[in-house]
Structure 1
Amino acid sequence: MKKALRKMFFSVALASGLAGLPLQAHCQTAVSVDNHLKITPSGELEITSSASSSADDFNWYAGKWKVQNKKLTTRLSNSNDWTTFEATDEVHSILNGTAFMNQYKTTVDGKPFEGMSLTLFDAKTKLWKIYWADSRSGVMDVPVVGSFDGKIGTFYSKDVYNGKPVLVKAQWDITNPDKAVWSQAFSADNGKTWEWNWHMSEERLAGDVGPARRKLLKADPALAIPAVTFDAHGELKITASASSSPRDFDFLVGRWRMYHRRLNKRLENCQDWTEFESTDENFRILGDVGDTDTYYTTEMPGPDGTRGSGKPFEGVTVRLFDTKTKLWSLYWVASNVSALDPPVVGSFENNVGHFFCKDTFKGRDVIVVFRWDVRDKDNPVWSQAFSADKGKTWEWNWYNVSERIK
């Protein structure tokens, strides 16, 4: 049924405190406490937000998920017969991180089925509205509305099931944001009792960035980019820190899995990002004055953030320490170009390295900075920014965080 299918997307969570129990344990008719829902004498829903409701409440959601579904076969008939099936869900952050859009795919009655949800935050009411459309109807349904209170998000709407008016409740339990769980319940008595009829257990797919890593994939406001200066010929003047050392990149030696967040369009006030994964193997060369690594992915985004083609992409970095100037020069060559880029040059200070060069991007002169933040050597973060005004302002366009492969 179209109305019933729509709600399955909106909450990947069991009721509070239920996540550790078998799904069957909560699928009977049960009394529910709904502190943020009131029903007016005319039958309208009055939904208020929790005190903690925030535009950040769905930040955990973006990514790729494997979904285990368990659906009550017959609803509101005291049934205990269930059907199970699998699905996939891919969720994207949109509107500068204030909204989410996802694409749900499965098979229904042997035929492909797709659904799309649009999750929007109302800054005035502090309520989330979650809309649904699917491949069967092509119609955007009335949203479920609500908010998170701690790790539980609860959302409501009015609907009709088998010709009878019902209230619909959808809940997310994000106690573990990498294994979120959703539940849906119907009430035929204006919220006095509820029957849970659908549960989805979502597990983040291996390689997905995830919320903990995503926190690292943005600029740290506590770290300023050093001011750039130029000589009489307009060339960058770069001097090494007092602590610069040929051992500064020793932390990179080994094998790594890297999680990336890359801006889709550079120097165009773009707010859309693409996330992907790669691997990297690093080792020292030239005794104490060199370091190199080989980078590999099949997910490298194309121009303007188009999805990776699945074809192998490889890159090689060569890092050389100048024993006279105490500056590092970082060279990069990629398999899709096979030309050595101009090196970025710089040094580390207090476990943060900044490396600069002049370059051109789409015909514009830019200054490029690489930053290596190794204050946590087990999770080093690399970032890249461009400046089109000689270092007065910067736009960060790429981040990655590395995790050692053991």
Structure 2
Amino acid sequence: MRTLIGWVLWLIASGSIAATAAPPPDGQHDFDWEIGTWTTSLKRLREPLSGKTEWVEYEGTSVVKPVMDGRANLVELDVRGSAGRIAGVSLRLYRPASGQWALHFANLANGLMTDPMYGTFQDGRGSFYGQDTVDGRVVLVRFLITPMGVDRWRFEQAYSADGGQRWETNWIAIDTRVKPAAQP
């Protein structure tokens, strides 16, 4: 059950209500830094919101391409580990009316696209919120993008089953830019 504060935060994050009357900043270039190829070290909580704490690890790549004149981008994730393979596509769309991005993820294992998460970058850090379904119940989901250096970024996903009062991190990916090969 969501608290009143949880609902208000969700409505602001989704763009359903405006946090201020000021026009939104132009954030359509917020993801430009990510265009390119990255090595990805990922760990995910095997059974989120179960009380269990077993993590599984993966290694692979993320390739980020601009589309629609940079107002959108496409991320191809392909990682493998002891628990198998995660291959998916993330479509990120800029929403100029709200100044927010909508993040969609499709896992190629099941062919389904998640409900979008909405948010923005502020002071170089991205915060995105939405809803997801875990074991048949609807939960809040938070996705944070944090710089760890010029060519290294942290992507962290967390779920909340109590309206945003407590968050359980279930996905941490560290991406490191692959440097282009030197030309002879």
Q: 2:124 aligns with which of 143, 146, 151?
A: 151
1:4-43 CA-to-partner distances (Å, cap 9, x unmatched) read: xxxxxxxxxxxxxxxxxxxxxxxxxxxxxxxxx8515xx9
Residues 53, 148 of structure 1: 8 Å contact kept: no
TM-score scaled by length of structure 2: 0.82
Residues 26, 96 of structure 2: 8 Å contact kept: no
2:7 counterpart of 1:39? yes
Residues 52, 148 of structure 1: 8 Å contact kept: no
CA distance in 2, matches of 1:174, 1:52: 20
Q: Please report how far the alpha carbon of residue 44 of structure 1 lies from its aligned counterpart in structure 2 after TM superposition.
A: 6.3
Q: 1:58 aligns with which of 31, 35, 49?
A: 31
Task: Indicate the SS of the match to 2:34.
Answer: coil
Report the structure, 1 or 2, having the larger helix content.
2
Report the counterpart of residue 139 of structure 1 in structure 2. Answer: 112
Counterpart of 1:121 in structure 2: which amino acid? Y
CA distance in 1, matches of 2:161, 2:6: 15
Gap regions ≥5 residues in structure 1: 1-36, 208-276, 281-406
2:66 counterpart of 1:99? no
CA distance in 2, matches of 1:108, 1:102: 19
2:87 counterpart of 1:119? no
Report the counterpart of residue 183 of structure 2 in structure 1. Answer: 279
Report the structure, 1 or 2, having the larger strand content.
2
2:175 counterpart of 1:202? yes
Task: Indicate the SS of the match to 2:112.
Answer: coil
Task: Indicate the SS of the match to 1:180.
Answer: strand
Counterpart of 1:139 in structure 2: which amino acid? L
TM-score scaled by length of structure 1: 0.39
1:62-95 CA-to-partner distances (Å, cap 9, x unmatched) read: 1001100111222223333221111211111111
1:80/1:139 CA distance change after superposition, 3 Å? closer
Residues 52, 149 of structure 1: 8 Å contact kept: no
Residues 144, 157 of structure 2: 8 Å contact kept: yes
Counterpart of 1:115 in structure 2: which amino acid? G
Flag the structure with more relative contact order, 1 or 2, with Cα contacts below 8 A and sequence separation at least 6.
2
Q: Please report how far the alpha carbon of residue 172 of structure 1 lies from its aligned counterpart in structure 2 after TM superposition.
A: 0.2
Which is higher, the Rg of structure 1 or of structure 2? 1
CA distance in 2, matches of 1:92, 1:134: 18
CA RMSD of aligned residues (A): 2.5
1:53/1:74 CA distance change after superposition, 3 Å? farther
CA distance in 2, matches of 1:53, 1:97: 13
2:149 counterpart of 1:183? no
Report the counterpart of residue 12 of structure 1 in structure 2. Answer: none
Report the counterpart of residue 359 of structure 1 in structure 2. Answer: none
CA distance in 1, matches of 2:167, 2:85: 31
Residues 38, 176 of structure 2: 8 Å contact kept: yes
CA distance in 2, matches of 1:195, 1:111: 23
Counterpart of 1:77 in structure 2: which amino acid? S
Q: Please report how far the alpha carbon of residue 201 of structure 1 lies from its aligned counterpart in structure 2 after TM superposition.
A: 0.4
1:124/1:87 CA distance change after superposition, 3 Å? same
Aligned residues: 173
Residues 40, 79 of structure 2: 8 Å contact kept: no
Report the counterpart of residue 213 of structure 1 in structure 2. Answer: none
1:197/1:63 CA distance change after superposition, 3 Å? same
Residues 36, 177 of structure 2: 8 Å contact kept: yes
2:45 counterpart of 1:72? yes
CA distance in 2, matches of 1:200, 1:187: 19
Task: Indicate the SS of the match to 2:113.
Answer: coil
CA distance in 1, matches of 2:45, 2:34: 25
Gap regions ≥5 residues in structure 2: none
Task: Indicate the SS of the match to 1:136.
Answer: coil
CA distance in 1, matches of 2:95, 2:6: 19
